[in-house]
């Protein structure tokens, strides 16, 4: 019965698409067109893209929309990542995929770290503030909190490749 219930739940929503809108950059704020180009309706989960030059509007609907004020915790919980991890612990496979143009906020949403490069040594410094932890550190924490409480006698193997493709280079984000 548990298996059937799980399969029914999986069939209800196998793929969900969420959009997170990052805050505008200073240069975008200075350009009045940027702030007027997009209208977010988080009640109906729609985004309207307006093009003043061609006087047209395109509306897009998503499963969930997060505005610039959304916290990392909100994104994690409202994207139902804990439920997804629970399914992984039952033996299902799962993928969390971030897509967008450079500078759109994918890395911050996924890992939440603030990166800086020391100009003298060229070494990368990572500020790991738990309040800004993104989907990946929260998922790992949740996963390992749930593993010991699993009452069934199972053996788990956890592997976690975390790679980013950027300007034709593959970067290991676990060990930069």
* Whole-number pLDDT of residue 116: 77
pLDDT in tens, 1-32: 566 555 656 555 578 899 998 887 777 777 76
Residues in the chain: 176
Rounded Cα distance, 62 and 46, in Å: 6
pLDDT beyond 80 at 176? no
Dihedral angle computed from the Cα positions of residues 65, 76, 100 and 51, in that order, rounded to the nearest 10 degrees = 20
pLDDT beyond 80 at 155? no
Could you give the percent of the chain with pLDDT greater than 70? 86
* Whole-number pLDDT of residue 89: 86
Q: Work out whether the CA dihedral 79, 83, 88, 92 comes out positive or negative.
A: negative
* Whole-number pLDDT of residue 6: 58
Rounded Cα distance, 65 and 17, in Å: 9
**pTM above threshold 0.85:** no
pLDDT in tens, 34-79: 656 788 888 899 999 887 777 888 999 999 999 888 999 999 999 9
Rounded Cα distance, 91 and 68, in Å: 35
Rounded Cα distance, 103 and 100, in Å: 8
């Amino acid at each position: 019965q548990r298996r059937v219930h799980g399969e029914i739940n999986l069939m209800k929503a196998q793929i969900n698409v969420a959009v997170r809108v990052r805050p505008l950059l200073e240069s975008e704020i200075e350009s009045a067109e940027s702030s007027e180009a997009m209208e977010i309706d988080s009640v109906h989960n729609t985004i309207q893209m307006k093009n003043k030059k061609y006087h047209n509007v395109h509306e897009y609907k998503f499963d969930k929309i997060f505005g610039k004020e959304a916290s990392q915790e909100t994104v994690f919980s409202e994207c139902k990542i804990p439920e997804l991890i629970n399914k992984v612990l039952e033996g299902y496979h799962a993928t969390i995929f971030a897509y967008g143009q450079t500078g759109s906020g994918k890395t911050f949403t996924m890992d939440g770290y603030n990166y800086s490069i020391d100009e003298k040594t060229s070494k990368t410094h990572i500020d790991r503030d738990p309040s800004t932890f993104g989907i990946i550190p929260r998922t790992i924490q949740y996963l390992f909190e749930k593993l010991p409480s699993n009452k069934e006698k199972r053996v788990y193997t956890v592997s976690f490749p975390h790679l980013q493709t950027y300007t034709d280079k593959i970067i290991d984000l676990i060990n930069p």
